[in-house]
Amino acid sequence: MPKVYIKTYGCQMNERDSEQVSQMFIERGYTMTREEPEADVVLINTCSVRDQAEQKAIGKMGMLRKIHRQRTHVVTGFMGCMAQSRAGELLKTAKVDLVVGTQKYHRVVEYVEEIVRAKEERQMDDEKFSIVDVEEETSSQNAIRDHILKEKQASAFVSIMQGCNMKCTFCIVPYTRGGERGRPIAEIVEEVRRLADQGIKEVTLLGQIVNLYGRHEFPMKDGKSPFVQLLEGVHEVPGIERIRFTSPHPIGYKADLINAFTYLPKLAEHVHLPLQSGSDAILKKMHRPYSAAKFEDLVARIRAARPGIAVSTDIIVGFPGETEEHYQETRALCDRVQFENAFIFRYSKRRGTPAAEMDDALQLSERVKEERNQDLLALINTHAQAKYVPLIGTKVEILCEGPSKTDASRLVGRTRTNKIVVFEGPAERLTGQIFDVHVTDFANFTLYGEAVLAN
Ligand code: SF4
């Protein structure tokens, strides 16, 4: 039975896409392997959002080149955002057999089999035979719908849309993922229903600008956006106990969505709200259509709708032209809002984006970016400390996800506010269950404690 190895970089959307591709291979009789040396098909699902992710994938190219030379029967390929934006280059430098863009995941198995046939028949020189498909395809968003569930798995990601029309000047996603395309509400709800039938208790709805889902395709109903209609549909599915969504855009939090937090109790108490910058001048250059004051007002309205809700964010430091004053505005806003957690990124040029074309004189040195990064991290850590430490000595409700990835002798779970909790207990019995944990300690955005179990 041929074996397939897939290495995935980047966001949860990429994880979902890889899961879909894996499922299609399994349906065709292949097995998945975690061991690259024993694989007959080696695929890399790439990410272009950060320079670091691209560099890692480029590093893997060396591996693919070696495979190509030494094990000529093996099919090698690139998928995903980098494949979409740099197809020709990858084909040439990595010498892979296959390059598949972000709207063609559902064709991967078929292409691999075509390449295998070509290699077996030796009708073509395999150095030259390759398939590249980075074309757009209508309705490709509907192709990401199958899941591979582990035993007792309790949470799952559900891809509800692809693409983004926002064109933030630092972001490559609109160029790699294309325009916004949503799946029909009924199909998504049906997928969630099937997941719930298989024991899934928590779903995370995925999209590049998830809370603007369907805005160009589906009508408003009773003053409610397609996204709120979808949340209501998912909320009705029996067995689903927690609903999350990522990654939203601040402008997608209209009154109907904020209000949904008051009457949809299954919506978990956590929102991720990418701020990017606390300076109006920089937000404008980033093409983010809100002001710092509007952002703060939004956080206040969300917190009023669901008291105790956790708010996390993304921030870019060192965007071209960011002065010390601009940075201090970001810092001050973070200090006022007190995020539960923040992902801080040093700006890196993404080829083909408007920010990459900005005057070189506006680009900041790596030293300044690093200083701002460290300074903001330290501030965010003090805020996290203030939110996490009071939980020591209390009980928190968690959904147990199974053994911890870093220490298999312990279990890991997540609170409704998306805090990670590590504790000990029988994996077989507790994985997939919702129960309380008595918190005893905190370090590095992780709570530690003891499971509170009946009997
Ligand atoms: S909204 Fe998000 S995905 Fe879309 S362009 Fe902006 S940062 Fe990129």
- CATH number (domain holding residue 64): 3.40.50.12160
Q: Mean per-residue pLDDT for 343-360? A: 92
- The residue contributing the CA closest to ligand 1 atom 6 is 168
Q: Say whether both 122 and 229 belong to one domain.
A: no
Q: Say whether both 417 and 448 belong to one domain.
A: yes
Q: Say whether both 163 and 57 belong to one domain.
A: no
pTM of the model: 0.93
Q: Say whether both 281 and 238 belong to one domain.
A: yes
pLDDT digits (tens, 9 = 90+) for 244-279: 999 999 999 999 999 999 999 999 999 999 999 999
User: How many angstroms is it from 305 CA to the middle of ligand 1?
Assistant: 26
Q: Mean per-residue pLDDT for 372-398? A: 96
User: What's the pLDDT score for residue 122?
Assistant: 66
Instruction: Please name the residues in contact with 325: beta carbons below 8 A apart, sequence gap of 6 or more.
Output: 279
Mutation pick for ligand 1 pocket among 84, 102, 168 (CB with most ligand atoms within 8 Å) = 168
Q: Say whether both 157 and 198 belong to one domain.
A: yes
**Domain of residue 254, CATH code:** 3.80.30.20
Q: Say whether both 209 and 308 belong to one domain.
A: yes
**Domain of residue 420, CATH code:** 2.40.50.140
Average pLDDT, the chain: 93
Q: Say whether both 144 and 80 belong to one domain.
A: no
User: How many angstroms is it from 248 CA to the middle of ligand 1?
Assistant: 9
Q: How confident is the model at residue 109 (pLDDT cuts 50, 70, 90)?
A: very high
User: How many angstroms is it from 306 CA to the middle of ligand 1?
Assistant: 26
- The residue contributing the CA closest to ligand 1 atom 1 is 166
Lowest mean pLDDT among 113-127, 184-198, 272-286: 113-127
Tally of domains within the chain: 3
Q: Say whether both 294 and 413 belong to one domain.
A: no
Query: Measured from the CA of 172, which atom of ligand 1 is nearest?
Result: 8
User: How many angstroms is it from 74 CA to the middle of ligand 1?
Assistant: 36
pLDDT at 387 over 90: yes
Query: Measured from the CA of 174, which atom of ligand 1 is nearest?
Result: 5
Final residue belonging to a domain, choices 108, 133, 158:
133
pLDDT at 225 over 80: yes
Query: Measured from the CA of 165, which atom of ligand 1 is nearest?
Result: 4
Final residue belonging to a domain, choices 389, 412, 442:
389
Q: Say whether both 166 and 220 belong to one domain.
A: yes
Query: Measured from the CA of 208, which atom of ligand 1 is nearest?
Result: 3
User: How many angstroms is it from 163 CA to the middle of ligand 1?
Assistant: 9
More confident residue, 30 or 126: 30
pLDDT at 416 over 50: yes
Angstrom distance (rounded) from CA 396 to CA 435 = 8
Q: Say whether both 79 and 227 belong to one domain.
A: no
User: How many angstroms is it from 427 CA to the middle of ligand 1?
Assistant: 38
Angstrom distance (rounded) from CA 354 to CA 72 = 41
pLDDT digits (tens, 9 = 90+) for 278-290: 999 999 999 999 9
In this structure, the residues whose C-beta lies within 6 A of any atom of ligand 1 are 164, 166-168, 171, 173-174, 208-209, 249
Final residue belonging to a domain, choices 338, 365, 389:
389
Expressed as residue numbers, the domain containing 224 is 140-389
Q: Mean per-residue pLDDT for 308-328? A: 97
User: What's the pLDDT score for residue 156?
Assistant: 96
User: What's the pLDDT score for residue 406?
Assistant: 86
Q: Say whether both 197 and 236 belong to one domain.
A: yes
As a three-state string, the secondary structure of the chain is CCEEEEEECCCHHHHHHHHHHHHHHHHCCCEECCCHHHCCEEEEEECCCCHHHHHHHHHHHHHHHHHHHHCCCCEEEEEEHHHHHCHHHHHHHHCCCEEECCCCHHHHHHHHHHHHHHHHHCCCCCCCCCEEECCCCCCHHHHCCCCCCCCCCCEEEEECEECCCCCCCCCCHHHHHCCCEECCHHHHHHHHHHHHHCCCCEEEEECCCHHHCCCCCCCCECCECHHHHHHHHHHCCCCCCEEEEECCCHHHCCHHHHHHHHHCCCECCEEECCCECCCHHHHHHHCCCCCHHHHHHHHHHHHHHCCCCEEEEEEEECCCCCCHHHHHHHHHHHHHHCCCEEEEEECCCCCCCHHHHCCHHHCCCHHHHHHHHHHHHHHHHHHHHHHHHHHCCCEEEEEEEEECCCCCCCEEEEECCCCEEEEECCHHHHCCCEEEEEEEEEECCEEEEEEECCC
Q: Say whether both 396 and 258 belong to one domain.
A: no
User: How many angstroms is it from 27 CA to the middle of ligand 1?
Assistant: 34
